[in-house]
């Protein structure tokens, strides 16, 4: 399969020059391996394009990530599958006159999703019809997945409920127990960053393992399409690495792949890819768009979602940014649950917690941490990292952006002293977390 790697240059000229030689050697190595088919730079120097041939999308993404320009933060990339539909220089076939050459059109399924033959084994009801509807709306049909008092989930329900959020439950006739669920909403109430006209966005679709292989998921999709009353359905699926909303399942139900973005790594090696998937229910429906930057910052509608703000389930990778929070200095201790905790260190009466998060979530991390800090007595948080080696010090009422050089800390130190914080405690950057132990 051929893949196009589109690259957008975001680094400055000096960074570009430093990475250029390594980049050219990397292209030579790809050429030697017969992987690279084409490579070039856009005329306006805004980026470039590679055409590679690999067995899988994941291999193409690995090639893009290993490019020295990408590793140095000079280029960002997007990988798209590419089919050569015809050769402009090829001779027309004997039975196809030259003036009738046409591009093959990709078939797009439209119309209602048909119920499977096994549909008589199930029935679908609104969650509000179930005796435990409050619990099932706030949590999940598998209650151990979401705590009843999960603040992010409760906040989402307060906002989305009046705007059209719905949940359907799949019941099996034989035992009348909940076998699965589907949660969906219009774009303005969805938990996923998808936009479109006359569109229903599927937040979640899950059938319990006991009922796998009985077409329960297809039954829920058909019911969703019928009851939503919109022109199309959309969702975000994932590749096989992540057991969540499988892309392959939705494609089997007539969903079309519109776009993709890598969201992380599985144990540091295999890319985890998110796909924008769309199923028109009527002719002429308009395809949706999505905001990948918002997706990479994270979602908050479900604490069990693989990519909730600041946390990467199954992601065994180093994070672009790290930070130090004082557990005793948080008026909202539940904030710690929003981040992966990478280490812990006791200093006197304090517990220092080391956290990590992706570069795309820096500004959101600043916002969340600042809202969680105690003002009396005052505490601060220390965030650092990124390709620009940044230090961000967060006080309850001010934020300072500096470098690891102590000479740039003077204003932040002076502000901390004015709050009554001893100077010996005003240490920024990674230095105050040496000797930490992994967080349990």
Asked whether the bond before 377 is cis by omega within 30 degrees of 0, the reply is yes
Domain membership of residue 102 (yes or no) is no
Domain membership of residue 384 (yes or no) is yes
Residue 231's CB is within 10 A of a number of other CB atoms, namely 18
Residue 48 shares a structural domain with residue 142:
no
The domain boundary, picked from 63, 82, 101, lies at: 82
Q: What is the mean pLDDT of the chain?
A: 80
**DSSP-assigned states of every residue in 112-124:** PPPPPGGGGGEEE
**CATH number of the domain where residue 267 is located:** 3.40.630.30
The domain boundary, picked from 305, 334, 353, lies at: 305
Out of 5-14, 101-110, 354-363, 369-378, the most confident range is: 369-378
- Per-position b or e across 350-373, b if 16+ CB within 10 A of its CB: eebbbbbbbebbbebbbebbbebb
Domain membership of residue 89 (yes or no) is no
Residue 60 has pLDDT above 60, yes or no: yes
Nearest of 212, 206, 224 to residue 279 by alpha carbon: 224
Residue 154 shares a structural domain with residue 283:
yes
Percentage with pLDDT > 90 across the chain? 32
Residue 408 shares a structural domain with residue 291:
no
Residue 216 shares a structural domain with residue 183:
yes
Residue 326 shares a structural domain with residue 300:
no
Residue 251 has pLDDT above 80, yes or no: yes
Domain membership of residue 27 (yes or no) is yes
**251 to each of 84, 210, 235, 255, 335, how far by Cα in Å?**
21, 23, 11, 5, 37
Nearest of 169, 197, 1 to residue 83 by alpha carbon: 1
Nearest of 204, 206, 170, 200 to residue 185 by alpha carbon: 200
Residue 69 shares a structural domain with residue 155:
no
Predicted pLDDT at 11: 75
The position carrying tokens 């006159």 is: 97
Residue 283 shares a structural domain with residue 425:
no
Q: How many domains does the chain have?
A: 3
Three-state SS for 403? coil
Domain membership of residue 312 (yes or no) is no
Residue 251 shares a structural domain with residue 130:
yes
Domain membership of residue 291 (yes or no) is yes
Residue 66 shares a structural domain with residue 123:
no
Residue 210 shares a structural domain with residue 347:
no
Domain membership of residue 226 (yes or no) is yes
Residue 231 has pLDDT above 60, yes or no: yes
Residue 198 shares a structural domain with residue 72:
no
Domain membership of residue 395 (yes or no) is yes
**215 to each of 27, 136, 234, how far by Cα in Å?**
46, 22, 19
Residue 128 shares a structural domain with residue 205:
yes
**CATH number of the domain where residue 65 is located:** 3.30.70.1060
pLDDT, tens digit, for every residue of 359-375?
767 887 898 899 999 99
Domain span holding position 344? 321-433
Residue 325 has pLDDT above 50, yes or no: yes
pLDDT, tens digit, for every residue of 382-434?
999 876 788 999 999 999 999 988 899 999 999 999 999 999 889 888 765 54
pTM of the model: 0.53
Residue 84: pLDDT band by 50, 70, 90 thresholds? low
What's the burial of 339, exposed, middle or buried (CB within 10 Å: 0-12/13-18/19+)? buried
């Amino acid at each position: 399969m051929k893949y196009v790697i589109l690259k957008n240059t975001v680094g400055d000229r000096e960074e570009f020059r430093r990475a250029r030689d390594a980049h050219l050697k990397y292209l030579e190595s790809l050429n030697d391996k017969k992987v690279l088919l084409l490579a070039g730079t856009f005329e306006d120097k805004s980026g470039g394009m590679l055409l590679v041939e690999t067995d899988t999308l994941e291999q193409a993404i690995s090639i893009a990530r290993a490019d020295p320009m990408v590793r140095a933060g000079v280029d960002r990339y997007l990988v798209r599958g590419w089919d050569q539909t015809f050769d402009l220089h090829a001779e027309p076939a004997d039975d196809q006159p030259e003036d009738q050459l046409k591009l093959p059109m990709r078939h797009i399924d439209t119309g209602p999703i048909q119920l499977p033959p096994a549909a008589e084994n199930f029935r679908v009801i609104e969650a509000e019809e179930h005796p435990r509807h409050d619990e099932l709306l706030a949590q999940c049909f598998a209650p151990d997945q979401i705590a009843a008092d999960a603040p992010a989930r409760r906040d989402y329900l307060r906002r989305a409920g009046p705007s059209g959020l719905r949940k359907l439950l799949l019941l099996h006739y034989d035992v009348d127990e909940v076998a699965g669920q589907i949660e969906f909403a219009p774009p303005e109430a969805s938990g996923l960053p998808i936009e479109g006209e006359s569109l229903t966005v599927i937040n979640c679709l899950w059938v319990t393992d006991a009922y796998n292989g009985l077409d329960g998921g297809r039954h829920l999709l058909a019911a969703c399409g019928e009851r939503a009353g919109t022109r199309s359905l959309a969702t975000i699926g994932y590749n096989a690495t992540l057991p969540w909303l499988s892309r392959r399942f939705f494609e089997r139900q007539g969903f079309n792949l519109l776009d993709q973005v890598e969201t992380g790594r599985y144990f540091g090696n295999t890319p985890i890819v998110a796909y924008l998937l769309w199923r028109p229910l009527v002719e002429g429906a308009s395809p949706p768009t999505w905001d990948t930057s918002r997706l990479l910052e994270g979602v908050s509608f479900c604490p069990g979602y693989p990519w909730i703000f600041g946390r990467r389930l199954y992601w065994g990778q180093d994070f672009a940014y790290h930070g130090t929070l004082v557990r005793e200095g948080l008026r909202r201790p539940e904030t710690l649950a929003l981040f992966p905790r990478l280490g812990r260190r006791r200093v006197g009466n304090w517990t220092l917690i080391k956290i990590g998060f992706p570069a795309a979530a820096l500004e959101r991390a600043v916002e969340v941490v600042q809202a969680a800090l105690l003002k009396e007595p005052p505490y601060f948080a220390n965030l650092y990292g990124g390709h620009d080696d940044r230090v961000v010090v967060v006080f309850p009422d001010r934020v300072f952006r500096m470098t690891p050089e102590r000479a740039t800390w003077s204003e932040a130190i002076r502000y901390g002293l004015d709050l009554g914080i001893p100077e010996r405690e005003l240490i920024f950057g990674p230095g105050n977390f040496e000797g930490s132990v992994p967080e349990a």
